[in-house]
Each structure stands twice: as C-alpha cells, then as structure tokens.
Structure 1
Amino acid sequence: MLQASRYADANYQPNAVPQVVRGNPSWGKDNYAVLFRDAAAAYQLAIRWKISGDSAYADASIKVLDDWSNKLTNIIGTSDKYLASGIYGYQLANAAEIMRSYPKWTGFPRFKDTMLNVFYPMNHEFITRHNGYGEAGLHYWANWDLANLASMMAIGILTDRHDIYQEALTYVKSGPGNGAFRNAMWHVYTDSGLAQVQESGRDQGHSTLDIALIGVLCQMAWNQGDDLFGFDNNLVLKASEYVAKYNLGYDVPWTYYTTSDGTVQTEISSASRGSTRPIWTLIYNHYNRVNGLEAKYTKEMMDKFGPEGGAYGANSGGFDQLGYGSLLFNSDVK
C-alpha cells in the first residue's frame, strides 16, 4: 500500500503557500488541502526512507518540509483555522521527528522555528482561550482540543521543549476542556468495560476521529516514557471498544449527554455509522500485543478493514490521521 501511494513517490512535488486558509472564503479562498496532502507526503516518504534506506525518499520528504518552513507565515480563517493548526501541526511534526536523524537535513533548525512560531502559538491559544469561550471551552467538541494537544505534544518532542510537552500532557490528564481524557471519554460502564465518548451523540465520523487523535497522543507519550494508554484504568481501551463496537453494528449502552448549549442528546447518533479510519491497529497493538489485554471489538474493526493505509479519500477527513498502523504498530515490544 505504501509503495503504491502517490504520496510516497520520490518524485512528489510540494505545494507550500505563505498563508493557509481554512474555514471561510471571505478570508481568502480555502487552500488548506495543499497542506494536508503535503503533510501526508512528508510522513509517507519519511517512512519509506526508514524502511528502504533509499536517500531519494529522504530527500523528497525534507523537500516537502523545507518548502513549508521556507514559505509558511500564518494560518487564518474562521475557528476552523485551529483544526488546521492542530491536525496538520501534529502530522508535520511527526514526519520531521522521523527525518531529524537524516544527516543531510540542514533545514531542520528552520523547520523547528516554524513549528514553534506558527503552529504552537495557535495550539496554546486554542487550549487556553478556546476562541473566546474561555479556558474550559466546553463549547467545542473534543476533537478540537485533542488535535491541538496532539500538535502541542508533537512539537514539544520535536523541539526538545519539555515545557511544551508537559503542557499538553498535564492538560490531557487534568484539563478543563473536552479534550481532557476524562471529558473526552466521559462515562464508563463498569459492567461492560466500555466508555462513552463525548462526540458519540454527534456522529460516528467525529467519534472515530476522537479515537484517532487519542491514539496519537497515547503513542507519542508512550515513546517518551509516559503511559496514557493505562491512564485511569485503561480508559482509552474502554472508549475504543465502545466506538468500535457500535460502528461494527452492535448495540452499546447510552447515557444522556447535555452539550454546552443545553441540548440533551437522548441517543447515540447513527450518522456516519461504520466510518472507516486507519486507526485501530495502533490501539490494538498496545493493549493486546504489548500488554496482553483483550480488545475484542477493536480487533474486529481492525480485521474488518484490513491493512491500514493512509489518505483515505480526497477530502480533509481522509487525511485527519497519518495511517499505516499495520506497518508501524505490529509487535509485542514493550
């Protein structure tokens, strides 16, 4: 799948722009697609280099990263600009984390500056102010916080800024917004080992996005020696099982959820039920292969959709996660 991807071709040409627009044509024409496609390419090319050792892929990956660090100055739009700063921020930082060991990458310092000066300030601004709704920011669904926390954590790791990394980690564990794990996965059913997700009453496309971003946060923290997978008695596993089970067509328990505007969600949403995202292997690998825990529905979802690639479709939702979990997370190494 990786070899066949157009984004893993050593001849890939980047399309960086000085200003990324997401959310409102009145601010300028939406152009954020060039960023999510290039982020996918930088990551896939980096993986292909690590596997093959062929420097052509390394050169292609850093060409993408350098193009953006040379040109990008800001990200604008409606509040949707914070989705761009979060999702594409964590993706670019993860690609760069792979490429930092490439000795020919002389542009690495400049790239780190871009992440610190363009992406991180937006991540911090959103998490602390929530676009004017305050620190708690319960107006915004969980995925908004989770995306910006993922970017913040990835940037902290990439730039060796422990303060930034710790800012994200602390918020995940005890923050007031919907991205804090106990708010994102807010109701545990102790009898069934499931946890209801904050966006389950909205639609399943966003519920699965929550699981995708939670998995990214857990894996990055794990690589730094912090165990978010085990947080609050394996809360993430319970949420993964809940979302996977429902999207496989099974019934799950439901508890009424009241949104920040007072709307009472009386039932789980069937909208986008069965959503496909390449996210399940990362979670299954850790809980089952590393920790030896059962993850029945996560495994069933993983098996149903087969080997995980990346770039599922042409729209932004298909690029919200980097993918290739079947290739990258398939071992019992602790």
Structure 2
Amino acid sequence: MRRIPLLAAVGALLLGVFAAPAAHSAPSTFVHPGVTVSKAQLDFARTEVLAGAQPWKAAYDQMMASKYADLNRTPTPWATVECGSYSNPNYGCTDEREDAIAAYTDALAWYITKDARYAQKAIQIMDAWSATITSHTNSNAPLQTGWAGSSWPKAAEIIRYTYTGTWANEARFATMLRNVYLPTVIKGSNSNGNWELSMMEAAVGISVFLEDKTSYDTAMAKFRTRTAAYVYLASDGSVPKTVPSQNLDTTAKIVSYWQGQSTFVTGLTQETCRDFTHTGYGISAISHVAETSRIQGQDLYGTDVGERLRQALGFQAKYQLGTAVPSWLCGGSLNLGLGPVTEVGYNALHNRLGIAMTNTQTLTQNNRPAGTNNLFVAWETLTHGDNPN
C-alpha cells in the first residue's frame, strides 16, 4: 500500500475526503466555457503550444494530424442512430461519435489557432446533426447517447463563448441536446457502471450548456451515488456500496455484479475484472464530471469522489504498468488497455492537491501525448496535462 505524505493526508482529511458526501447543487450562475475544460485552461494550453513547449506542442501536433481536424471532413448525420450490443448493428453509431469528437477537435483547433475556418467547421458539423437526428434506438442506445452527448457540449461551449462569428442555428443545436439526448441520459442505467457514469457526464455537460439547474442537480446526485458504487474503498465495509435501484441486496448478487470478484480492496472497480478498457471509460467519466463541477464552483476532488478517483487510478495504473497479478484478483488474469484516461484526474489530484500518485504519474507520462479513444475521450494532454488552472 503506497503511503500518502503526512501533509497531503492531513490536507485530504481537512478537505473532507473521508467525510460523508455534501449536498450538491447547481451554481447560481454557470461558468462558460465550462464543460471539462475552462477558458483559463484553454488559454494556458494555447500559450504553451504557441511557445513550442512540451508536452503541449506534441499533443497539439497529434490532434492536428488526426482525421478529426481535417477541414475537408464531411459530417454524416443520421435521423435515427441504431446501436446494438457492441455497436452491432452500427447504423450511424461511429459516424455520430466521431463527428462529435471532430466538432470538439475543431473547437480546440479554433481556440489555439484563432483560424475561423475551424470554428466554422465545428459549426457545420453541429448544424448537420441538429438538422437531422431525432432518436437513438436498440440496446446500446443509452450508452451511445451518453458517449456522443459528452462530446457535443464540450464543442458547443467553446464555440458559443469564444467565437465571435455567427452560429445561426445555435438554438436548434440546444433543442437537439434538450430533446434527443438529455431525456435518455438523465434516466441513468442499471447496466455496468461505465454506462451510467458516461450518461451522467453527458447529462452534466448538457445541463451546463442549457443552463438547466434542475437537470444538473439530478445528474450530479446520480453521479455521486454511482461513483460510490463503482470504486471500492475499505471504508465502505465488507462489500461495495450499491445503487438502490439495482436491488443488489445479497453478497452473492454483489459478487456477480462485480464480475465474480469476491475479494474487495481499495481502488478496485466494478469492472476491473471485466477489462481495463471499460474500467477506463468509467474512470474517465468520473474525472470529467469532477472537473466540470470544479469549474462550476464546487470541488468534488476534496470529497469521496476524489478519493475514489485517486485510488482507482492508482490501482489500475499499477497493473497496467506490469505488476504481477495476484491469484485472488480476477482469477490471476487481467485484460489490460486502460486507454488515454489519466490526465484529468492526475492533474487535479497530484498537481493541484499535491497528492503523491507514483504509478499514475508514471503511466500518464509514459502515455503522453494522450490521444483519443474514438468514443468520448480526446486530447487531454493538450487540455489538462500539467495545467495549473
């Protein structure tokens, strides 16, 4: 077990890391741009890129060389996006997710270059979808809505609040988020935990863009409950916390839901024994919601959310880096592949709060520049790598 330096440990206690969750409410005035990345963070990234400083310049070059920054990209909107299990069938699923990432990529490119063509490309993509899409269907519809719905508001926030040109169909885009995405994601999910975490990320981001305080509060409450049920801490007791609607009222049910894992240790997640890729989705969504909340004025990093995020990152990072898997953990075998998901949490907890995170630090630095998972995570070395804001 890694020891936390005394000062950091005392600071964590003072911040209430081990206290009961405080009530969460929407800000009296929303901060914009304020979904995962703030204006101060964008300004820092832009300054470093223009100065040629690393790792930000390499991260920017990686982004600009990607297909998502191509000014010749033609959006491919669908009226009905149909996504079955593991996106089979895939009628518009990849198109939607990748167009949403492209809109966000173009928004970032606009901010750093101040080349209006990128803002206009982001608008073109957002307009194409807001003029077309009406629904998501089939078994993966909730998750698909969450993934795409996480990227759209990040793009829209940057364009709406930093681009001085015309976005004539902005209101139609807002209507799309309110009518096509929010009603689905706000319901949550009783599937594997990464589903609901991604859906709450989308719901929180959309609520910020729409300045919808009621939906923001609803999403945050579900997020807090799900996060506590996704990452285990020894302080939870002999078994993990649960989401009441799932009726996991026996140890046997909990073990089954935790992929057959019956030994619970701090930092283990509900999907660790499934695979690290899906675990990474959950960890990423936790970090994104915590970052949005901080920008909006309520810092969750100093609560159990931050502690669970820290422990989940450290636990998974250790094995991702090659530590031998003990026999009691997932039958002695892990499916690795955490993905580019550590920058936001690492920056918040290590750089801002000064908490030692040796394994997470090594993994984060080894993976720079972090790219995209082609689903809902993109360019976080650029936006959050060692970003003091």
Partner of 1:270: 334
Conserved? CA contact 2:232–2:308, under 8 Å: no
Partner of 1:301: 363
Alpha-carbon distance change, 165 to 276 in structure 1, aligned in 2, over 3 angstroms: same
State the SS of the aligned residue for 2:366.
helix
Partner of 2:383: 328
Is residue 279 of structure 2 the alignment partner of residue 215 of structure 1? no
Is residue 207 of structure 2 the alignment partner of residue 146 of structure 1? no
Deviation at 1:251, TM superposition (A): 4.5
State the SS of the aligned residue for 2:65.
coil
Alpha-carbon distance change, 123 to 244 in structure 1, aligned in 2, over 3 angstroms: same
Partner of 1:242: 315
CA distance in 1, matches of 2:136, 2:117: 30
Given the two structures, how large is their TM-score scaled by the length of structure 1?
Answer: 0.82
- Output one character per residue of 1:160-205: Cα deviation in whole Å (capped at 9) or x when no partner: 01111111111222x3xxxx11101023489xx9411111121111
Conserved? CA contact 2:77–2:128, under 8 Å: yes
Is residue 222 of structure 2 the alignment partner of residue 158 of structure 1? no
Conserved? CA contact 2:186–2:219, under 8 Å: no
Alpha-carbon distance change, 96 to 268 in structure 1, aligned in 2, over 3 angstroms: farther
Whichever residue aligns with residue 147 of structure 1, its letter is S
2:227 paired residue among 181, 201, 226: 181
CA distance in 1, matches of 2:273, 2:303: 24
By relative contact order (CA 8 Å, sep 6+), the higher-ranking structure is 2
Conserved? CA contact 1:204–1:269, under 8 Å: no
Alpha-carbon distance change, 189 to 166 in structure 1, aligned in 2, over 3 angstroms: closer
Deviation at 1:269, TM superposition (A): 4.8
State the SS of the aligned residue for 1:75.
strand
Conserved? CA contact 2:284–2:341, under 8 Å: yes
Is residue 102 of structure 2 the alignment partner of residue 41 of structure 1? yes
Conserved? CA contact 2:149–2:181, under 8 Å: yes
Alpha-carbon distance change, 14 to 332 in structure 1, aligned in 2, over 3 angstroms: closer
- Output one character per residue of 1:239-288: Cα deviation in whole Å (capped at 9) or x when no partner: 111111121112577978xxxxxxxxx646512x1x15221111111112
Given the two structures, how large is their TM-score scaled by the length of structure 2?
Answer: 0.71
Whichever residue aligns with residue 248 of structure 1, its letter is L
Is residue 106 of structure 2 the alignment partner of residue 51 of structure 1? no
Whichever residue aligns with residue 293 of structure 1, its letter is I
Partner of 1:6: 67
Deviation at 1:13, TM superposition (A): 1.4
Is residue 155 of structure 2 the alignment partner of residue 95 of structure 1? yes
Deviation at 1:24, TM superposition (A): 6.5
State the SS of the aligned residue for 2:359.
helix
Conserved? CA contact 1:188–1:196, under 8 Å: no
Partner of 1:133: none
CA distance in 2, matches of 1:326, 1:287: 15
CA distance in 2, matches of 1:239, 1:254: 19
- Output one character per residue of 1:188-233: Cα deviation in whole Å (capped at 9) or x when no partner: 489xx94111111211111122111111111111111122222216
Whichever residue aligns with residue 216 of structure 1, its letter is H
For this pair of structures, how many residues does the alignment match? 296
Deviation at 1:115, TM superposition (A): 0.4
Where structure 1 has 5 or more consecutive residues not aligned to the other structure, the ranges are: 131-136, 257-265, 311-317
Alpha-carbon distance change, 5 to 268 in structure 1, aligned in 2, over 3 angstroms: same
CA distance in 2, matches of 1:6, 1:244: 29
State the SS of the aligned residue for 1:243.
helix
1:167 paired residue among 203, 209, 218: 218
Which of 1 and 2 has greater Rg? 2
CA distance in 1, matches of 2:136, 2:129: 12
What is the identity percentage for the equivalent residue pairs of Structure 1 and Structure 2?
26
Deviation at 1:306, TM superposition (A): 2.2
CA distance in 2, matches of 1:88, 1:120: 11
Partner of 1:260: none
Conserved? CA contact 2:347–2:385, under 8 Å: yes
Partner of 2:142: 82
Partner of 1:134: none
